[in-house]
Structure 1
Amino acid sequence: MNAELQVRAARLSALPLKDYNDYIASQPNATPYHYSGWLTAVKKAYGHTAWVVTAHQNDKLCGALPLVEVKRPFRPSTLVSLPFCDLGGLLANSPHIANEMRFAAQNLAASLGGAALEIREGGPELLPEECTELAGDTKVRMLCELPACSETLMKSYKPKLRSQIRKAEKNGLTAEVRQGDDAIASFYAVFSRNMLRLGSPVHSLSWFKELGRAYGDKMLVGLVFKGNEPVGGGIVLVQGKQACIPWASTLEEHNKLAPNMLLYWTLLAKVNDLGCTQFDFGRSTLGEGTFRFKKQWGAVPHHLIWRNDSQANEGAVSGQILSSSLSKTVSRLRPLIERIWQRFPLPVANWIGPKLRRYITL
């Protein structure tokens, strides 16, 4: 049986995408990020090389690991599963197959000039005592189970949450779920302004458009309007019964009108009525504001584990846990850099930002 196992690494362009996507759709632990559309968009928008380690047994796909090779100037490359999101990780039909695929990924990283290999995976739900014991900068994945329909979902919320959703509507805000380049442009108008306010380099508009083309009807754009002006926007990706929201923003000057409450409710209701049974709110710092915001919707914290699986030297132990909390010392220069970035005119920030953002894998 083991002799029939074939494990290999190949560029995305050499992969039969239908077979790969069918396998992803069959895996209960697959996320919307595993879909080939993520790799396609990364390649087209930013020029990074997309790889997939696959395993076949009796000519049937039995394992897949999507990877992106990020080449930074004057620094070693990183092979990551996956960049620009919380997780990707290895999918396999058995632990033995997973181990063989991990070795193949290590060999691929070594063949690419000793690239670092970073595998991002989701873990189990945090126990109550873990939430108390873990450090304050611990990053967790917030997952929410969804009921049969949005009507049941609304009834499950506490009166305070329901009133906050109604508050946005009483303040004259409206919300829609759209698709296509026009919807993406409306989202980007909000998102780019918010990223400038935060002092952070923004993704390119072409990145989101490439995602829209690659995901098709699997990508939804939620928009909140005050009159005709978009004041909130979010992007949701769908894979099978799971939906995730990698990006959401509102305009700070309108936050008193509660656009974020209407935005999240509109997207939650939409994917729930589409048949999704789980909503991934994404990464949050344990106990902080975004954590509490997501928790009120019913999201529960889960471990988020990023591993360095590189073969630093012969005989090295692989699978070293980089950080289940993703905690790192914040550079002393970061506040200064953010203040400088916030002073840029929006067109300048939107031009420079993507040239830097393509190398930032978080």
Structure 2
Amino acid sequence: MSAELQARVSRMSVYPIEEYDAYVSRSPKATPYHSSGWLQAAERAYHHTAWLVTVHRDGSLCGVLPLVEVKPPVGLKSLVSLPFCDLGGPLADDDDVRHLLVAEAKALAGTNKARLLEIREGGEALDEVQTDSASGKVRMLCPLPQTSEALFKSYKPKLRSQIRKAEKNGLRAEIRTDIEAVDPFYQVFAWNMRRLGSPVHSQAWFREMKLAFGDQMLVGLVFLEDQPVGAGIVLLAGNQACIPWASTLEQHNHLAPNMLLYWALLSHVCDQGCQVFDFGRSTMGEGTYRFKKQWGAKPYELVWTDWIADEGTHQAVNKIQKQTAGSRLRPLVERLWRRLPLALANWVGPKLRRYITL
């Protein structure tokens, strides 16, 4: 006779977080985003409520689903697993546990009057000629060898020459774990986000991330003399590394700071024993996809599912990550945003970004 499953919904702040992190650390489908540090940063930087759906069997934890409740001043409240990243869905010992986790999440959405429950998960490896994903959003994963020397030898001559070009151009890279490294990172990141016409995360978000992740968050910096011209953040968990944010200053891109930034981070985590590097989300065939592919990354499915409230129940809607034309207003908004003074963009941006869950 199988043991009875017991589900529980808790505020992250009251759940024994050591038990949660221990389960995540041994789950084969876990990502660095599943760490309690991501939830802690969302609460402390943006004051969103973090929830944990858990399932126990015979008193032992056998499944978890982290959620963040996002309630904008205007619009619909949502529960997301997880916001501000590509994935963070349920981790479970078996399908029965997984189904119970999702059922409890839908019940929580109903209790909290959330219009939307969104669960973001990773899927299987994709064949690049698959027509169904030809214009879709994919996750780019790269296996790593045992040493950075072996990694460098695996690259094509053109990529190796681009890395050397950056060094010959007088650029130097640093990998840091101190919280002061957030400041030069943010200097580059905020400038680049304004250039892209997109609201920027608050500096407090990255500082809280650093406090929560500690040495499991690396800050890569590329300098031209004493000026930071490239910056990226890598999160670590077990044998995995992921890079949710990376930026360079456009006026220095001819010096190839992006090549040195990625090489510095990749070589570092490779020598630290990481076996997989997650380059993040890209659109199949576009520029960022080709950039990541040259480092050895391969496309994997992103499976995002929405449950939308309908007369007291939540109906599932599968979100296929297709590239869409978007709002007609978006190009105009982006052009206007680029014209904002940097200080104003950095003040207004975080007030909007905290409610943008992508």
Q: How does 1:136-285 map to 2 (within 5 A)?
A: 136=135, 138-285=136-283
Count the aligned residue pairs.
Answer: 358
CA contact (8 A) 1:54 1:65 kept: yes
Residues 127-152 of structure 1, C-alpha deviation per residue, up to 9 Å, x if partnerless?
A: 2331x45343x111000000111111
Opposite residue 154 of structure 1, the aligned amino acid is F
Matched to 1:321, the amino acid is N
Q: Find the aligned partners of 2:2 and 2:351 in 1 and give their Cα distance.
A: 45
Residue by residue over 1:25-49, the C-alpha shift from the partner in whole angstroms, topping out at 9 and shown as x without a partner, is: 0011100000000000000000000
Q: State the 1:9 CA deviation.
A: 1.0
Give 1:235 deviation, angstroms: 0.1
Contact 1:165/1:262 (<8 A) preserved: yes
1:100 equivalent in structure 2: 100
Look up the match of 1:334: 330
By how many angstroms is 1:310 displaced?
4.2
TM-score (norm 1): 0.96
Determine the structure 2 residue equivalent to 1:347: 343
CA contact (8 A) 2:200 2:346 kept: yes
d(CA) in 2 for partners of 1:257, 1:74: 44
CA deviations on 1:75-102 (whole Å, 9 max, x unpaired) are 2211000000011000000001101111
For the residues of structure 2 that align with 1:14 and 1:316, how far apart are their CA atoms? Answer: 27
Instruction: Give the aligned partner of residue 90 of structure 2.
Output: 90
* Distance in 2 between residues matched to 1:4 and 1:335, nearest whole Å: 53
- Aligned partner of 1:134 in structure 2 is 133
Query: Does the CA contact (< 8 Å) of 1:24 and 1:34 recur in 2?
Result: yes
Q: CA 1:306/1:77 → structure 2, altered by over 3 Å: closer, same or farther?
A: same
CA deviations on 1:285-321 (whole Å, 9 max, x unpaired) are 1100000000000000001111013453477654x31
- Given that 1:187 and 1:223 are in contact with CA atoms closer than 8 Å, whether structure 2 keeps it comes out as yes
Other-structure match for 2:318: 321
**1:287-298 mapped onto 2 (5 Å cutoff):** 287-298=285-296
Deviation at 1:115, TM superposition (A): 3.1
Q: What is the rounded CA distance, in whole Å, between the counterparts of 1:345 and 1:181 in structure 2?
A: 27
Percent of pairs with identical residues: 59
TM-score (norm 2): 0.97
Tell whether the 8 Å contact from 1:306 to 1:326 is kept in structure 2 after alignment. Answer: no
SS in 2 for 1:361: coil
Please report how far the alpha carbon of residue 328 of structure 1 lies from its aligned counterpart in structure 2 after TM superposition.
3.8
- Alignment-mate amino acid for residue 105 of structure 2: A
SS for the counterpart of 2:75 is: coil
Distance in 1, Cα, partners of 2:335 & 2:309: 39
User: What is the match of residue 302 of structure 1?
Assistant: 300
Paired residue secondary structure (1:129): coil
Distance 2:312 2:203 in 1: 43
SS at the partner of 1:238? strand
SS in 2 for 1:245: strand
Query: How many angstroms does 1:4 deviate by?
Result: 2.4
Aligned-residue RMSD, C-alpha: 1.3
**AA paired with 2:29?**
N
**In structure 2, what is the equivalent of residue 75 of structure 1?**
75
Superposed displacement of residue 114, structure 1: 3.8
Measured against aligned partners, the alpha-carbon deviations of 1:110-169 in whole angstroms (never above 9, x if no partner) come to 001143100000110112331x45343x11100000011111100100111000000000
**Is the contact between residue 106 and residue 311 of structure 1 (CA under 8 Å) also seen in structure 2?**
no
State the shift of 1:180 in Å: 2.1
